[in-house]
Structures are given as structure tokens and as C-alpha cells.
Structure 1
Amino acid sequence: MTNQDVFTLIRSTYNSFTNTERKVADYILDHTKEVIYLSIVDLADACGVGESSVFRFCKTMKLKGYQEFRIVLAQSISPDEDTQELTSKITMEDTLEEVSSKILTTNINALTETQKLINEDDISEAISSMIMAERIHFFGVGASLMTAMEAKNKFMRISNKTECSIDSHLQIMTAALMSEKDVAVLISYSGSTKDMIEVAKIAKKRAAKVILITRFVKSPLTNYSDITLLCGANEGPLQGGSLSAKLAQLYLLDVLYAEYYRKTGQVSETNKERTSKAVIEKML
């Protein structure tokens, strides 16, 4: 993908757009900074068109798809070679104190928004499903895989039924062997990752309970989730794997862990003591 100015692309291609594609183009030109943080579903809803129209809009501009469009858009807004994080607005002139303050503010905002997005009924349903499940499988790719592994590490201290495969092929095979007695916890900021969509499709086909941790209310993955838990961090296309997004996801997982621990009482307490003693033996 070469560096391109998205505004030049839109204007030079405008006459080739269909009427629905022009709606998308007009909305982007009028709401440039907001679009960076929208999923393809959100943008389609905002423009009053279908997702396919947004995708065709990208293809008409010779882009591979919506994610490449968002990257080109972000580069057009912030063309500096060392592109700064859009949410924290860190500049080259900032002092160390200013940088640390802005990062702190960004992370606090992500956690605060996530807390406000928590739906108690959804959390309760998710916990009930996890307690009743024979196996709990955590899924993620890229930066979200790191979060899934953290979740596995956290829950295995109080339960022996958690799993996390680190390879996309192993994840698909794991999903294919799930049943209605299992729970799949999918972690995806965008909700548009191809590997996770395939895992969700297969897990759903196997009648497993699907819990999704994501940023957007509407995305391809939410079509397959039984329970959707929202994290509140804004992550631009040039900020993949941002720590604020990871913190928001980990916060939700910590809430699930605490509730699971509370609801299972003595069982979790006993398991926690056993795993803690086992780890102590490894320390000086």
C-alpha cells in the first residue's frame, strides 16, 4: 500500500461513485476525524447505506477494503512519518511530564468509559454461562491474543476448565470441537478480524455460548455473539494494539474474574490456594 492522500482520492474518484457511494464520500469529508474510530457497520448506519456500499466505495478508490481506507485516512490527517497517537495528541514539543500526563489521561478515560458501558445483566449472564460451562475457551489474534492469554492465565488460578490456543489453525480446530456445554470468549477490538469471524461462525454452529469483548455495538462479530461486552477505548488504525484498548479489555476480564470468584465461592478459594502454593515452590 503506497502513501496516498484520501481527500485527493475521494475528489478525483467522485464522478465514478454511485449515488450511495457519494453519500459515504460526503459523510467522510464532513466528519473526517470521527470516521477514523467508526466500524464499517457504524459508518454505513451513519450514511444511511448498506455495508456493501461502504466496501464498494473503498474498492472504487482501488483500496483493498475498509481497514486500508482507515489507514489511508489516518495518514492523510496525520502525515508525519512518526505519526502521533490521535487520541492522546502527543506532540514533538511535549515534555516528559506532559507526555506521561496525556498517556495517563487517555488510559483513565478508556477505563472510565468502559465502566460506564458495563451492563449488569450481560455480565451476570456471562458469568452464569462460564460457571455452567464444561470448558471456557479464550480466543484472540494479534494484540488481542495477548489479552486472551492473560485471561487464560488469570482464570486458570481458580478453574481447571480454561483454554487458549495461540495458533489460528489450532483455534479453528478448537472451535470445531466445541459443544453446547462450552463457552467461547472472543476478544477483538474491531470485531472485524477474519480469523475471529471464522472462529465465531464455527463455535456458533457447534451451539457453544459466544461472549464477545469488543469496542463496537455493531460489527461482523456481533452477528454471532450471544453476549457482547463493550470496552471504551478509542484506537485509530495506526494505533493497533494500543495499551489503552488492552487495559479496557483487561478491566472487563478482571470484572468477569471477580464475579466468577464471588459466585463460585469455596471452589475458587480452594483452587486459588492450590495454584498459589504450586507457584510458591518455584520461587526462592
Structure 2
Amino acid sequence: MANQDITSLIHSRYNTFTNTEKKVADYILQHMKEVIYMSITDLADACQVGESSVFRFCKTMNLKGYQEFKIVLAHSVSLDDETPQLSNIITMQDTVKDLSSKVLSSNIQALTETYNLLAEQDIVSAVEAMIQAKRIHFFGVGSSSITALEAKNKFMRITNKTEFAGDSHLQIMSAALMEPGDVAIAISYSGSTKDTIAVAKLAKERGATVISITRFAKSPLRNFSDLTLLCGANEGPLQGGSLSAKLSQLYLLDLLYFEYFKQTNSASVTNKELTASAVIEKMF
């Protein structure tokens, strides 16, 4: 299915669409490159329909869901471009010098946009919740699990109340045992990852404070979040796990870390010294 042209696919089924599905189809045909970077909520809002209508549109196209639709769309857009692309800016014709410049530019752009999206009060509120928390759980699957593990490794140097489980089954079990006063930090670029949404939903039901780190201001994950921190990298469905997206997430986690360190200076300094001393003998 991924190798099919989305334009031909839509036109071949257009007469079978409902009026609502035709609104979605018309918008996609007119804004194909923009839709690649939209969440299902963003597309639904742009078409002035419900998320369920977008999902039904995908099913009518014989696609499993919105993510498979975006993969087909991305393939179609790359086929339409005259110059083959490895990402939204890098082409097969680039020299190493071109690559180094473009990668640097995309990373700087991701960090700059994340900075511009920052809401200072959200950072302050998130850190206050983390300081007061009995336990802080970091959640993420796939590429985001690596980011969540990095966050765990960073915070465990200054506090003993951070937790992370790499397996999605262990994560949902951890969420089931959360209590009021705990904090769940859910990391998902798309905000549409089923496992992460399930964890956030269960953690919220258990009374925990849920902080999400995601790209989209409107996403299913945000429905179960008390606070949402937005990262600024654009990542297409064929670019999963891009470093620019990861850098923007780590940038937000760094902000949380340093603000946490400031607010708990005495304890954090002591713990930092203890953890540093514990591993010093492992080094030459």
C-alpha cells in the first residue's frame, strides 16, 4: 500500500466518500506537503470535521489508520518531487559539506522553534509538581523510550525517586500502581502513540499528574495531560526517530533538570556528589 500514489487512490474512491470524507479528501489534495506534518487533530480542525471522520476516511481508503495514511502520503509526495529526498531538506545530490550544513541548520531550527514555543509558567508548574512528587515516572515507546531512559539517567543523579521501564507491558503496570502525588512524564513526538496514550490515561485515572512532551498542541495525548510541553522539530512519517526531534525533547528535559536542580539546590548538590563518587572508581 505504501507504494501507491495518494492522489490516484483518492480519485479512485472519491465517489464512495461521504460529504464529510470529501471535505477531508479535498483538503488533502490541496495541502499534501503540509498534511505530512499534521496530527490527526490538526487535520480534523483544518477540515472542520471530527477526528473520527478523518479515521473513517482512512478506513474507506483501505488503510489501517492515520499513521499508515501519512506513510502513503509521504511516499506519494517524495515520488512527485523532481529531486529524490532523504528528508524534507536533504537530497541524494548533496555533498558532505551540504549535508553538514543542512543537518546543523535543521537541528538549530528545531531548538529555536522549541524555545519559541516555551511557556515559562508550564516549566515552573511542571518542576513544582516534580519536586512535590513521591515518584516520577518517565514513559515512552520506540525512539521516545530512548529519550525517556536518558531523562531517567539524568535525574537519578540528583534524586532517588525517578523510574523508567523500557517494556510497554511494564509501563502500563507501573501506571496502574501510580497514586495521587506521583508524576508521569509521557514522551511522544506524534502524541498519537497508542501505548503512551494508554499509559497517560491510566496514570491520570489513578490521580497522578501527567506531563506530556510532544510536537503537536492538539493531539490525543494532550487529552490526558495536565501540562503539555511542545517540541519544535518537524518529522515526517518516513523520518521516525530523527535526531532533531530528539534534540528538541532533550532540550525540554534539560530545562526541567536545571530548574529542578535550582529549586532543590542543597539536596541536589549532595546527591550529585554521592552519585559522582559512586562511579568515580569505574574510571581510569
Give the alignment's TM-score, normalised by structure 1: 0.97
Match of 1:168 in 2: 168
| Per-residue Cα deviation, 1:249-279 (whole angstroms, up to 9, x for no partner) | 0000000000000010110011011111111
Match of 1:200 in 2: 200
**Distance between the aligned counterparts of 2:93 and 2:137, measured in 1?**
45
* SS of residue in 1 equivalent to 2:216: coil
After TM superposition, give the deviation of residue 281 of structure 1 in Å: 1.1
After TM superposition, give the deviation of residue 84 of structure 1 in Å: 3.1
Match of 2:87 in 1: 86
**Distance between the aligned counterparts of 1:30 and 1:171, measured in 2?**
40
What 5-or-longer segments of structure 2 have no aligned partner? Answer: none
What 5-or-longer segments of structure 1 have no aligned partner? Answer: none
Number of equivalences: 282
Match of 1:64 in 2: 64
- The answer on 1:100 being equivalent to 2:63 is no
The 3 A distance-change label for structure 1 pair 2 and 256 is closer
The one-letter code matched in structure 1 to 2:264 is: T
- The answer on 1:185 being equivalent to 2:185 is yes
**Distance between the aligned counterparts of 1:178 and 1:62, measured in 2?**
39
**Distance between the aligned counterparts of 2:152 and 2:233, measured in 1?**
22
**Distance between the aligned counterparts of 2:163 and 2:274, measured in 1?**
19
| Per-residue Cα deviation, 1:5-42 (whole angstroms, up to 9, x for no partner) | 11100111111111111111111111111000000000
The one-letter code matched in structure 1 to 2:280 is: I
Match of 2:242 in 1: 242
| Percent of aligned pairs sharing the same letter | 70
- The answer on 1:110 being equivalent to 2:110 is yes
Q: Runs of at least 4 residues of structure 1 off by over 6 A?
A: none
The one-letter code matched in structure 2 to 1:155 is: F
Matched-pair contact (CA < 8 Å) for 2:2–2:71: no
The 3 A distance-change label for structure 1 pair 83 and 248 is farther
- The answer on 1:149 being equivalent to 2:149 is yes
After TM superposition, give the deviation of residue 202 of structure 1 in Å: 0.8
The one-letter code matched in structure 2 to 1:198 is: A
Matched-pair contact (CA < 8 Å) for 2:84–2:91: no
After TM superposition, give the deviation of residue 86 of structure 1 in Å: 3.4
The 3 A distance-change label for structure 1 pair 258 and 45 is same
Matched-pair contact (CA < 8 Å) for 2:44–2:54: yes
Match of 1:16 in 2: 16
Q: CA RMSD in A?
A: 1.2
Q: How does 1:250-265 map to 2 (within 5 A)?
A: 250-265=250-265
After TM superposition, give the deviation of residue 182 of structure 1 in Å: 0.5
**Distance between the aligned counterparts of 2:85 and 2:162, measured in 1?**
38
Q: How does 1:38-57 map to 2 (within 5 A)?
A: 38-57=38-57
* SS of residue in 1 equivalent to 2:228: strand
* SS of residue in 2 equivalent to 1:241: coil
**Distance between the aligned counterparts of 1:2 and 1:282, measured in 2?**
49
Q: How does 1:113-132 map to 2 (within 5 A)?
A: 113-132=113-132
The one-letter code matched in structure 2 to 1:193 is: T
After TM superposition, give the deviation of residue 83 of structure 1 in Å: 6.5
